[in-house]
């Protein structure tokens, strides 16, 4: 199996996925507030990944060196932890805006 076929979102178990157009934008948001639609989040910290991301979620087999791949980008983070400040609905296509 080729590497790119194993690099799929189901390994990450994220609650909210978004695309700002620039990779790793969210890593600079720590300490800031971000709006997604009418929801406001306070970004608390980066999500440093663990060895669990090297395992296939369906089989448990370690099949990709995810931490080494991330380190090649200068970090081992994938996403951020956030606290909900203002609740509301979030819809596909909502704009993500740093406040």
- Tens of pLDDT, residues 60-76: 888 888 888 878 878 88
Q: Which domain holds residue 16?
A: 3-98
Task: Quote the number of domains for the chain.
Answer: 1
Regarding predicted confidence, which is higher, 50 or 42?
42
Read off the pLDDT band of 17 (50, 70, 90).
Answer: confident
The DSSP line for 2-24 is -HHHH--GGGT--S-----SSTT
Helices (H), 1-99: 3-6, 66-71
- Tens of pLDDT, residues 74-92: 888 888 999 999 999 999 9
pLDDT exceeds 80 at position 7: no
Question: What integer pLDDT is reported at residue 6 of this predicted model?
Answer: 55
């Amino acid at each position: 199996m080729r590497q790119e076929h194993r690099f799929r979102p189901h390994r990450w178990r994220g609650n909210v996925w978004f695309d700002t157009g620039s990779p790793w934008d969210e890593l600079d948001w720590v300490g800031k507030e971000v709006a997604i639609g009418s929801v406001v989040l306070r970004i608390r910290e980066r999500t440093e990944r663990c060895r669990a991301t090297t395992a296939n979620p369906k089989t448990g087999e370690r099949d990709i060196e995810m931490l080494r791949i991330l380190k090649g980008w200068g970090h081992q983070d994938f996403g951020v932890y956030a606290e909900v400040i203002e609740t509301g609905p979030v819809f596909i296509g909502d704009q993500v805006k740093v406040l």
